[in-house]
Structure 1
């Protein structure tokens, strides 16, 4: 495990710049987000992933952590949210896993634990810590963006745990947004479905057994007909949301609708 940010370190060069914390930052949408965010010289990014490597950019901090292991996350929680005089701080809970594509009754218990840990519990822990650290800093813009899924709103055979874990993220986001209004923290919270994106997760989906996933042919067809959106497109839409948050009243959003 390598962490390039010393515990409790104040990043002095971040004065009045923007800080983005992105989980699942080593591939897919997360990797595209990091690349696009670093295109702005005022942005500093903390990328968190099990296989996250350092980048040749002084504005990028790599946290190599296994987000399915809560003890590892808790031991390094201060590394996610450093002190600094920022004008904006944004947490993007992007890390996620489709899990075993299998009907209930055939899923390994360890897989059930892992998918809810990565998709639901760790995002909740990070949201809780984010609000604790930055909740009273009303002079700066603060935002939480949870990457959800269209599967959170419908039952899909073979995806029971994935759909349930993302549905939990949606409700968590709505509750957090309601609490922010009641507590007058000024923190904005969104849960965003990125659409069907051409990532490694889609490869896992297309490798599923048709007997365990009745929608397999549809996802194979989406790839064959080149109807999957790119990680760069999804990342760009998330950045569009972040930069124009005042235009959005709803908590639950879909990039295909804005």
Structure 2
């Protein structure tokens, strides 16, 4: 049986997530993606490279279903041929950019389910299903500087990322006390030129006091491309000290 790393990745249909998926396939990782849409380009790249790649079309706003499916799949897949095992929680959404009291309750709930509840449930499923696996196991949560700095009209996104940081700290403490415990890290990837940045720059200035900062970063060429950001994140994942600091920023390298 071929020996290769196995990576599970959410939010892989566009932006940095798609770039990470493509780079992981190119590096020979068996890959499972969980996204609302699948990527024909990723499927073609994996087939051309002879790399196993499953793309699950799932809505992480229903995180219980996604977590149950992941746990069952891992139990069925088993550890045979896996040299290392990684879960990357990358998916996230920003609801309407406005003060908290002006955002639809359903949009708020969706942002928190995708951005916080889904990573927690998927991480729980991952750890439960693989507790007896003996290869290195890692969980990488893609956080944000906004999880560490408050911003008006960004309450849901800031709260989700702050929660992600703190639950990662808790899991790091838990896993440190287990035989072959997983290494975990919540990593801010820097400011990336994605659809999310376009959403921020296109907000109503009357509702979003910080819009000028985001417009300025774009105008000054300060945004990282999705491909470059993906490479930096995956390089961090491969560091020998990955998880030594459970909350980190690629810009601190």
- For 1:26, what is the secondary structure of its paired residue? coil
RMSD: 1.6
Asked whether 1:32 is paired with 2:25, we answer: no
What residue number does 1:172 align with?
Answer: 167
* Aligned residues between the structures: 243
Task: Work out whether residues 191 and 224 of structure 2, in 8 Å CA contact, stay in contact via their aligned partners in 1.
Answer: yes
What residue number does 1:8 align with?
Answer: none
What residue number does 1:90 align with?
Answer: 86
Asked whether 1:64 is paired with 2:57, we answer: yes
- For 1:45, what is the secondary structure of its paired residue? strand
- For 1:68, what is the secondary structure of its paired residue? coil
What residue number does 1:194 align with?
Answer: 189
- Map residues 153-232 of structure 1 onto 2, 5 A cutoff: 153-232=148-227
What residue number does 2:244 align with?
Answer: 249
1:74 CA displacement: 4.5
1:75 CA displacement: 5.2
Q: Residues 170-194 of structure 1, C-alpha deviation per residue, up to 9 Å, x if partnerless? A: 0010000000012334210000001
Q: Distance in 2 between matches of 1:201 and 1:113?
A: 18
What residue number does 1:51 align with?
Answer: 37
Give structure 2 stretches of 5+ with no counterpart: none
Give structure 1 stretches of 5+ with no counterpart: 1-12
Q: Distance in 2 between matches of 1:79 and 1:202?
A: 35
TM-score computed with the length of structure 2 as normaliser: 0.91
- For 2:206, what is the secondary structure of its paired residue? helix
TM-score computed with the length of structure 1 as normaliser: 0.89
What residue number does 1:129 align with?
Answer: 125
Q: Distance in 1 between matches of 2:135 and 2:68?
A: 27
- For 2:33, what is the secondary structure of its paired residue? strand
> Residues 248 and 69 from structure 1, CA distance in 2 versus in 1: closer, same or farther, beyond 3 angstroms?
closer
Task: Work out whether residues 234 and 255 of structure 1, in 8 Å CA contact, stay in contact via their aligned partners in 2.
Answer: no
Task: Work out whether residues 64 and 118 of structure 2, in 8 Å CA contact, stay in contact via their aligned partners in 1.
Answer: no
- For 1:32, what is the secondary structure of its paired residue? helix
1:96 CA displacement: 0.5
